Structure 1
Amino acid sequence: MMDPHGESFLGWPAPPGQERTEAQWTAIAGQVRHAANKLGDPLPLCMPGEPQQCGRSAQQHALAWAAELKARSHHLIESYAPSAEAGTYAAGALYKERLEALRTPRA
C-alpha cells in the first residue's frame, strides 16, 4: 500500500506571496525526503518524474515528507533521550523555541 500524501488536502492553496513553482517544490521535497531517509527506512521514489510516480504533486510530497521527518525526529527523541524529562523538554519546550525562531523574520 502506498503511503498517504495528503489526499485530504487536494489542492492546497499557497498563502499569498508564498507561491512556488513545481520545480521549487520538487527540490524541497527531495531535500526533505533525503533528510527523513537518514532517520529511517527509505521513502519511495514516487515524485513526479521518478520511477514509481504516484500522481501526486511535488508540493504534496514536500508536505508529506516533512510530516514523516517530524514523526521520525520525534520518535528519535522518544527512543534515545536519557530520561523522560529530557525527552519531554526536547519534544516540547525546545521544539517550540526552535519553531518560534524559524517563524521570526530575520533582520
Structure 2
Amino acid sequence: MARTEEEWLHIARYVRHAVNKVGPETLPLCLPGEPHECGQNGYQHAMLRAAELKAVAHHLIEEGAATHEEGALFAEQVYQGRLSALREKAPQNV
C-alpha cells in the first residue's frame, strides 16, 4: 500500500504513543520539525517505532508468561496466526 509522507508521520506518532502506553521506558514524543530534523523521513520513523512496539510487545509476553511454553504460544503461534490474518486482508503491493 502506498502511503504519503504525511500518512507515515501520523502512523509513526500513533505507534510511538502505543509504545509509551505499554513500554517500560517512555520515548520522547516527536518534536516540531521531526522527523526531518534528525535526517529521517516519515516512513523511516514509522518503521523504527513499529520495531520498538514489536520489541516491547515481545518483552511483555516474556515477562508475563507463567512458563516458557506459554510465552512461546503467544509470541509465536498466536502472533503468526494474527500476522497471517492481517496479510490476507492487506491489499497487495504491486
- Normalising by the residue count of structure 1, what TM-score does the alignment of the two structures yield? 0.74
In structure 2, the partner of 1:23 is 6
Q: Distance in 2 between matches of 1:55 and 1:47?
A: 13
Q: Does the aligned pair in 2 maintain the 1:48–1:56 contact within 8 Å?
A: no
* Greater length-normalized contact order (CA 8 Å, ≥ 6 residues apart): 2
1:65-98 CA distance string (max 9 Å, x none): 0000000000000011111111010001111001
Structure 1 portions without partners, runs of 5+: 1-17
Q: Report the number of matched residues.
A: 89
Q: Distance in 2 between matches of 1:49 and 1:98?
A: 35
User: CA RMSD for the aligned pairs?
Assistant: 2.2
In structure 1, the partner of 2:48 is 64
List, as ranges, runs of 4+ consecutive aligned residues in structure 1 with deviation greater than 4 Å: none
Structure 2 portions without partners, runs of 5+: none
Report the AA paired with residue 100 of structure 1: S
Task: Check 1:58–1:48 CA distance in 2 against 1; reply closer, same or farther (3 A cut).
Answer: farther
In structure 2, the partner of 1:45 is 29
1:22-47 CA distance string (max 9 Å, x none): 11011110111111111222223346
The structure where helix makes up a greater share of residues is: 2
Report the AA paired with residue 69 of structure 1: L
Q: Give the share of equivalent positions with the same residue, in percent.
A: 53
